[in-house]
Amino acid sequence: MAIIYNLLIGFFGSFIGVLPPGLINMYAAKISMKDGRKNGMLFSVGVCITVMIQTFIALLFAGYIGKHPEIVNILQKVALGIFISLTIYFFFIAKDTRRELHDREAPSKTNRFFLGIFIALLNLLPLPYWMYLGITFSAFGIFSFSSPEIYMAVLAAGIGTYASLALYVQFFRPKEHSRKLKLNMNYVIGLVTAIISLFTFLKIVKEF
């Protein structure tokens, strides 16, 4: 039964987490529109591989934290530094995503696959997300950190991510003539990391 719970949590946790419009799924939709659905799917596979690795690392940390709650304070401070750094990067350093998109050379399938891996690596949110889900559901007794079950959760997370991205690849179609993004997505990500930084800072201050 524990394996079934882990599979369900892994699948639906990733599916719901990826479903809202964001940088990765909108990127998959654009690739599908410009380069075909096959390239969009290859991009999605690359994303899934990275997400599975991130999920595995996050769940390992979540299991360790569950046994050693004294390190939570240290992790909060580390997380605060990471999120502040990400906020500064996305607001002041990252290139504007509203720039013209130029297709100077025909994309290869291999490029799209590794592009998916790279874009997913830039997204660190799955790490705290899966740590939170793992600890929360474990507290209710419906998530297991033992070896067979955690592997099933990681596999299900990859499948759920792929299923969510596949919806964007198959059905979402940005307007073909829209060559420029109206919104700099880096500002959106920067705003999210800024909010997380603020809440993390307030939580650390409250515990003093």
Count of C-beta atoms within a 10 Å radius of residue 74:
9
pLDDT of residue 74: 72
pLDDT of residue 166: 93
Contacts of 48 (CB under 8 A, 6+ apart): 116, 158, 159, 161, 162, 165
CA angle at 112 for the pair 107 and 114, rounded to the nearest 5°? 130
Low-confidence ranges of the chain (pLDDT < 70): 21, 69-70, 72-73, 75-76, 79, 90, 94-110, 172-186, 188-189, 192-193, 196, 207-208
pLDDT tens-digit series, residues 170-179: 886 555 444 4
- Would you give the distance in Å from CA 117 to the centre of its chain? 11
H or E stretch covering 116:
helix 109-122
pLDDT of residue 17: 82
pLDDT tens-digit series, residues 139-191: 788 899 988 899 999 999 999 999 999 998 888 655 544 444 455 556 766 77
